[in-house]
Structure 1
Amino acid sequence: MKKVIALVASALLAGPVAAYDVGPEKGDKSFTISASGNSDQDFDANTYGVNAELGYFMTDNWQGGLRQSANGAAGSDVNDAWLGSTRAFVDYNFSSGLTGNRTYIPYIGANMGYVYGELVENTGQAGVELGMKMYVLQKTYINFGVEYSWLFDSTDDFDNKSNDGFYSYNIGVGFNW
């Protein structure tokens, strides 16, 4: 009977101990690949695509890096076309997670970069973002993200264009090492 109690206690304690070891640490690098979609505010111009992201954890919480996106477009307000973007980002990862064991780590951040392609004049892009990393292994996660971005030609346009933005959403898989 003592062996059964010890076995059950070990099994119950192993989950939280193992779960605590998941997630990023200072100095970790990350790579995420994801499928993405964009919509204007009326959902009349939609894109679909793929994103690749390379990041670095400056602390257990702060992550910075680069994202590259390649997208196709479809919808009643656009002809079939392609576009891409290259953006730098900084995110704050809430290291305690939602459940206290770091399995689900929400994040919030901002990005800025450049958009190019058939649908836009080569122009600047800025945005805010939030999401969730769900760790399925110690250093492997599923990423769910949403961005609100806007385009601008100059610093004068930066504030004026923020109400004319678009939403981007993605789901992908990522790795820390």
Structure 2
Amino acid sequence: MKRSTLMFVGALSVLPLAAAQAAGHGEFGPETGDREFSIAGTGGGDRDFDNSSIGLSGDLGWYLQPNVVVGIRQSVSYADIEGQSASDDFWNGSTRGYADYQFGHHKFRPLVGASLGAVYGDAVKDSAFAGLEAGAKYYVLPKTYMLGRAEYQWFFDDSSDSDDNFDDGAWVYTVGIGFNF
């Protein structure tokens, strides 16, 4: 009897915790129709990490569902190209559309996605690119998150080049902060 009473009291004590967690389910993160804005530092390098760049990236997205966001991303970066003199400054930019899927509805949300856009500037051949990305968001406040993302981008002048150029792509890394509104 004493053991069953103890189990009953233990089960009752868990109910408020479960109810609080269920009530807090929607406290963090976006809802359908929300927007997001993020600002991040970016860095990247070619496949062999010989050439590198550092810059800023900004995203503006719209949530089609609480876990699906589409938007536009703008990046600007300074590039250090192997074999070039230190006095040469190379500035590059990229503009792309993106779509991401976020897993879960908790503070920590892994994500995967894809992008399609253009790269232009001093140290790159102006061209189109496609990219795959993976990362995570961690909500530190109900509508504020920290972001980490890695993208692999491959470049092409027309659709027939896309398969050939996958092996000559570039990595882009992003760490920043974002807001849902």
Would the TM-score normalized by the shorter structure come out above 0.5? yes
Which residue in the other structure is 2:69 paired with? 63
The Cα offsets for residues 75-134 of structure 1, whole Å up to 9 and x where unpaired, read as 5345531100000001111133xxxxx110111000000110011221101100011000
Return closer, same or farther for 1:14/1:77 CA change in 2, 3 Å cut-off.
farther
Determine the structure 1 residue equivalent to 2:136. 132
Greater C-alpha Rg: 2
Check 1:77–1:147 CA distance in 2 against 1; reply closer, same or farther (3 A cut): farther
> Which residue is equivalent to 2:150?
146
Partner-residue secondary structure (3-state), 1:163: helix
Structure 1 residue 72 and structure 2 residue 68: aligned? no
Picking from 71, 94, 103, the partner of 1:94 is: 103
What does residue range 100-115 of structure 1 map to in structure 2 within 5 Å?
102-115=106-119
Instruction: Give the structure 2 partner of residue 51 of structure 1.
Output: 57
The residue matched to 2:98 in structure 1 has which SS? strand
Match of 1:167 among 171, 176, 180: 171
Equivalent position to 2:93, from 84, 87, 96: 84
Unmatched 5+ stretches in structure 2: 1-14
Percent identical residues: 39
**Is contact 1:44-1:77 (8 Å) kept?**
no
What's the C-alpha RMSD, in Å, of the aligned pairs?
Answer: 2.2
Superposed structure 1 runs of 4+ greater than 2 Å apart = 9-20, 75-80
Q: Secondary structure at the match of 2:82?
A: coil
Give aligned pairs, total.
167
- Find the aligned partners of 2:16 and 2:141 in 1 and give their Cα distance: 20
Q: What is the TM-score normalised by the length of structure 1?
A: 0.86
Distance 2:173 2:23 in 1: 33
TM-score by length of structure 2 reads 0.84
- Residues 27 and 56 in structure 1, CA contact (< 8 A), matched pair in contact too: yes
* DSSP 3-state at the match of 2:162: helix
Secondary structure of residue in 1 paired with 2:167: helix
Q: Which amino acid aligns with 2:124?
A: V
Following the alignment from structure 1 to structure 2, what is the Cα–Cα distance between the partners of residues 17 and 75? 52
C-alpha separation in 1, matches of 2:135 and 2:158: 29
SS in 2 for 1:156: helix
Q: Provide the C-alpha distance between the structure 1 equivalents of 2:19 and 2:30, rounded to a whole number of angstroms.
A: 22
- What is the identity, as a one-letter code, of the residue corresponding to 2:64? M
Tell me what 1:21 maps to.
27
